[in-house]
Amino acid sequence: MKFHPRRTIRALLPPLAAGLALTALPAQTAQAASTLANGGFESDSTGSAAPAGWSEYGDTGASYTESGGHSGGYRLSHYSSSAYKVETYQYLSGLTNGNYTLTAWVRSSGGQKAAYLALRNCGSAEQRTDLPISSNGWIRIVTSVKVTNNQCTISVNSDANAGNWINVDDLTFTSGTTGTSIHGADISSLAKSEAKGGVYRTGSGTAGDALSILKSSGMNYARLKVWVNPADGFNDKAHVLATAKRVKAQGMKLLVDFHYSDTWADPGAQTKPAAWAAHTYSQLKTDVYNHTYDVLNALKAQGTTADMVQVGNEINGGMLWSEGSTDHWSQLAGLINSGYDAVKAVNSSTVVALHLAKGGDKAGTEWWFDNAVASGVKFDAIGLSYYGYWHGPLSDFQTTLDDAASRYGKPVFVAETAYPFRLDSDDSLTNQIDTTGELVSGYPATVAGQTKWMNDVASIVEAVPNGRGLGVFYWEATWTAVNGNGWDPTDAGSGNGWENQALFGYDDKALSSMTWFSHR
């Protein structure tokens, strides 16, 4: 909730020039310590303009403590009724050189030109993490740095418009490092797009290979779905094999996403392939094994072994309905384990992930995986779809992700997320997200809004404790509006309701939001 500052301290402080640039730090305090002091802001009462252990720079009246901490009684806030720039910082010296991680709990109204935590003057490149927008739930973020000069400055920064605010609390600075290994995207649409005349361009307009363009922005992992016998002939074994060669040629890793269907599988539809429709449960287990083994062994044979495999896609309600629905957990477990065994038979080091939608639904995720574990389901990692306009606030997503990693002791990742860079359509089909009322508060349907969404989701994955946050896959980077490459494989005239959430614009140029691939 938005706070209402109740203080008069600003009037007592010497005025500073509004808009003072935060490009340099003032002289460091002589009382610098080697451990973070007062990280919970509990040493002072409401209204303290310079919390014990901390210094301020810029429009210092906009930085103060007040009641309402994440834990304990107080928090640090930045706020002013007029535009402001302020930094609250603490200088540490006498540090043992090595890797350190700053952890903090934060909230933010959004709207700032910049609001971030930084580790600077540490002897290596400055590291930053932007504050995700969350006006209610607290979100934990991390920033890691390598200290090489025995010192480091911990910094909370706001470059804000009138009325913008942030809350920060419970900062810790400890040994360790963070980061994510997966900066990926689903590119299942690419082969059909190109076959139908789709073109991809660099940001400056030069036509090029979409994968090369994505790789140049930092993409390191590609996700490809596979259907059994799709009506349009795409997203089948042959096309997965062909695209996998291109993926591996770029030096990227490969995730193969088995839908076990001839068309889209998701929480609302898990339709058996037509060729398996009359098969018994026992036959379906063999079908799953043979199909999984066949595709993965062919990939291995051509030198493009899958690095990760999803056994099923968004299987909240199970898969291969009705035999494999969650009404029949023992049967669902048998089908999943049949896929798992096939993956491991081809390559024992391929990671097997199970993928649910509704990434903000902690109770539902626990219900599903508790049943899976009780039923003996085998898996190596947990993937969640998380679309903020459908699946709840970022704080709920973090709670769900952290809980899954801890409760099941497995690494976690975002199997799908996306955000629109505009709302109008580039074809005749109305987009899935096409009104401002559908957007996540604080994240506009602009390239900047798309960029911030992706960086903030990645920051939450990076903050999963014990290094269990693997990273993020964007869905769907290359699905631009191309005639004939619509959503329905049975209808060549169907449109694409997702082109406003691709990573290429309506002019086919790479969007600058691709910079999220370079997230730490």
Catalytic annotation, residues: 314, 416
Amino acid at 174: T
H or E segment to which residue 407 belongs: helix 394-408
CA–CA separation, 336 and 359 (whole Å): 21
Beta bridge partners of 128: 118
CA–CA separation, 288 and 285 (whole Å): 5
Burial of 494 (0-12, 13-18, 19+ CB in 10 A): middle
Amino acid at 8: T
CA–CA separation, 472 and 449 (whole Å): 17
H or E segment to which residue 173 belongs: strand 165-175
Q: Which of 28, 34, 31, 35 is nearest to 57 (CA)?
A: 28
Q: Is 135 helix (H, G, I), strand (E, B) or coil?
A: strand
Q: Is 182 helix (H, G, I), strand (E, B) or coil?
A: strand
Beta bridge partners of 146: 99
Which residues lie closer than 8 Å to 403 by C-beta, 6 or more apart?
A: 362, 365, 366
Q: Is 242 helix (H, G, I), strand (E, B) or coil?
A: helix
H or E segment to which residue 368 belongs: helix 362-374
Q: Which of 211, 221, 314, 300 is nearest to 270 (CA)?
A: 314
State the alpha helices, DSSP H only, in 176-328.
190-195, 210-216, 237-249, 281-301
State both tokens at 221: 């992992």
Q: HSE-up of 84 (CA within 13 Å, CB side)?
A: 27
Number of CB atoms found within 10 A of residue 5's CB: 17
Q: Cα(first)–Cα(last) distance of the chain, in Å? A: 30
CA–CA separation, 310 and 467 (whole Å): 21
Cis peptide bond upstream of 385, omega within 30: no
Q: Is 42 helix (H, G, I), strand (E, B) or coil?
A: coil
State the alpha helices, DSSP H only, in 141-221.
190-195, 210-216
